[in-house]
């Protein structure tokens, strides 16, 4: 992640008119560790601040080591100007979610929660679900609570770490499901192995009327190398499908 990719832009058609012209900066899988330089995080904040978005989401795996060991780096992220919403990833759970939450004091932690974002006088529901590994850390995934928001008239944007949770997003009547975890396979041909365990590898998909975006992430796991699965910073612009 010490070398940042150029931001990309994508227009996504969505089924709810209240989401028209909403812009979301989607980040995922930063995997911040002592290998990640402070300078690259300062640059990341500068890039995010320069891009015009309504809010930022991070779909898990912010850290790849103890949050205490990279607290100085995480504090840099707190200076982002736009609101930031994030959910847990499996690495966040393993390395210490409690300390991560303390370090990201300016971010909105979304596990099992719903936030209300006012966009052009309309209320948008942003809901988040803990990672599937949370059961090993005795953290409940309150799926029924999240699904209960399906009865609301406002549009729902659903955040989770793994693409597998798309089925829960459908039950929650979400218009947009954002996730990460896969790294897009990270190193070809591991793409094929990822597809054996995840329903989507990367990029934009649709299931029924729900749009799905799987972010390839910024960081790496295991080998600090990518091949045919470049890292990404992507600005999503929503358009109502008229």
pLDDT tops 80 at residue 73: yes
Lowest average pLDDT, out of 78-92, 98-112, 141-155, 205-219, goes to 141-155
Residue 114 φ/ψ, nearest 5 degrees: -130, 130
Which residues contact residue 232 at a Cβ distance below 8 angstroms, ignoring those fewer than 6 apart?
Answer: 5, 8, 215, 216, 217, 218
- Residue 24 belongs to a domain with what CATH number? 3.60.21.10
Average pLDDT, the chain: 95
Cα 78 from chain centroid?
A: 16
Average pLDDT of the segment spanning 24-41: 97
* Cβ neighbours of 34 (radius 10 Å): 11
Domain that holds residue 62: 9-240
Nearest to 91 by CA among 162, 141, 36: 162
Q: Is the pLDDT of residue 149 over 90?
A: no
Q: Residue 14 to residues 223, 239, 240: CA-CA distances in angstroms? A: 36, 6, 5
The verdict on residue 2 lying in a domain is no
Over residues 68-95, mean pLDDT:
97
Structure tokens belonging to residue 171: 């039950």
43 has a pLDDT exceeding 90: yes
**Lowest mean per-residue pLDDT among 51-55, 111-115, 147-151, 230-234:** 147-151
In the sheet that holds 203-207, the strands lie side by side as 113-119, 122-128, 156-159, 176-179, 210-214, 203-207
In a domain, 3, yes or no: no
pLDDT of residue 191: 83
Contact partners, residue 131, CB within 8 Å, separation at least 6: 60, 87, 88, 89, 90, 92, 93, 160, 161, 162
Residue 206 domain flag = yes
122 belongs to a structural domain? yes
Residue ranges of alpha helices (H) inside 3-55 are 38-50
Q: How far is CA 16 from CA 158, 160, 178, 211, in A?
A: 14, 20, 16, 11
pLDDT in tens, 151-194: 678 999 999 999 999 999 999 999 999 999 999 988 888 788 88
Query: What sign for the dihedral angle of Cα 147, 148, 153, 155?
Result: negative
For residue range 97-143, list pLDDT tens digits in order. Answer: 999 999 999 999 999 999 999 999 999 999 999 999 999 999 999 99
Give the alpha-carbon dihedral of 187, 191, 192, 193, to 10 degrees: 70
Quote the pTM value: 0.97
Question: Is 61 among the domain residues?
Answer: yes
Whether 97 is covered by a domain: the verdict is: yes
Angle at 209 (CA atoms; ends 203, 213), nearest 5 degrees: 15
Of the chain, the percentage scoring pLDDT greater than 70 comes to: 100
Distance in angstroms (rounded) separating the CA atoms of residues 226 and 50 = 26
pLDDT at 150 over 80: no
Q: How far is CA 142 from CA 26, 138, 168, in A?
A: 24, 12, 11
Residue 156 and residue 127 in contact, taking contact as beta carbons nearer than 8 Å = yes
Q: Is the pLDDT confidence value at 37 over 90?
A: yes
Asked whether residue 72 is assigned to any structural domain, the reply reads yes
Residue 4 lies in a domain: no
Tally of structural domains, the chain: 1
């Amino acid at each position: 992640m010490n070398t940042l990719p150029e931001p990309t832009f994508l227009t996504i058609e969505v089924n709810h008119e209240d989401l028209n012209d909403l812009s979301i900066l989607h980040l995922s899988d930063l995997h911040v560790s002592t290998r990640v330089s402070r300078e690259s995080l300062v640059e990341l904040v500068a890039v995010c601040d320069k891009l015009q978005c309504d809010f930022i989401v991070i779909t898990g795996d912010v850290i790849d080591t103890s949050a205490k060991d990279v607290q100085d780096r995480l504090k840099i992220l707190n200076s982002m100007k736009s609101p930031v919403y994030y959910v847990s990833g499996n690495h966040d759970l393993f390395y210490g979610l409690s300390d991560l939450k303390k370090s990201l004091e300016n971010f909105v932690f979304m596990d099992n929660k719903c936030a209300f974002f006012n966009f052009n006088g309309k209320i948008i529901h942003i809901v988040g679900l803990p990672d599937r590994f949370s059961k090993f850390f005795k953290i409940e995934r309150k799926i029924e609570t999240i699904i209960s928001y399906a009865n609301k008239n406002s549009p729902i944007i659903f955040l989770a770490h793994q693409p597998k949770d798309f089925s829960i997003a459908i039950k929650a009547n979400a218009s947009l499901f954002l996730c990460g975890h896969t790294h897009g396979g990270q190193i070809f041909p591991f793409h094929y192995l990822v597809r054996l365990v995840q329903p989507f590898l990367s990029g934009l998909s649709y299931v029924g009327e729900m749009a799905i975006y799987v972010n390839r992430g910024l960081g790496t796991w295991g080998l600090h190398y990518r091949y045919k699965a470049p890292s990404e910073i992507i600005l999503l612009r929503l358009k109502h499908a008229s």
